[in-house]
Amino acid sequence: MSNISKSPLILGIDPGTQILGYALLKGGPHPELIEMDVLKLTKEKDIYARLEMIHVKMVDVIQQHHPTQFAIEAPFFGKNIQSMLKLGRAQGVAIAAAMQFKLPVTEYAPKKVKQSITGNGNADKEMVWKMLERTLKLTKQPKYYDATDALAVALCHWYQISGPVLPSVKGLKGWDAFLAKNPDRIKK
């Protein structure tokens, strides 16, 4: 059986060397948030100690929850080179932890994640949160957007592996015909 089962458990990561966001999302007809949090690294000054902290945390989360998929946000261009190098190292350490447990790894550009969640690749973090809140029926916004960004990565991955949202419906004329043919799509 493949790792993409009916209800995969996706670990989404927003990599960072100061704050790393992570979220676990259970896929299915109605995706469900399992856990969303951040790893704060700012108290540790040594970059290598921070990388070790990332690895230890990723291993801990993987061993505790047993995700079947690993999705991570790719670094975006435009920051200074030193920041990109540090972010790439953090991303590499998180990916190495996933590979240690033979998890399939998928990387998404920030614009792809935003486009997938909001329909706008240039959406700001507040717009992404509002769509996550609405889509997943969340009630409490986390303190850090790094956590919601990680959840957005996980949900983006779910959208990518679960196929099209709407089935092909040829020959229907208007919403009334669509709703008559698809009563299960109506939320009550």
Give the residue numbers annotated as catalytic, written as ranges. 14, 73, 146
Residues 6+ apart with CB under 8 A from 9: 24, 25, 26, 27, 34, 65, 66, 67, 68, 69
**How far does Cα 28 stand from its chain's mean position?**
15
E-assigned strand segments in the chain:
9-14, 19-26, 32-40, 69-73, 105-108
**Cβ neighbours, 10 Å, residue 115:** 16
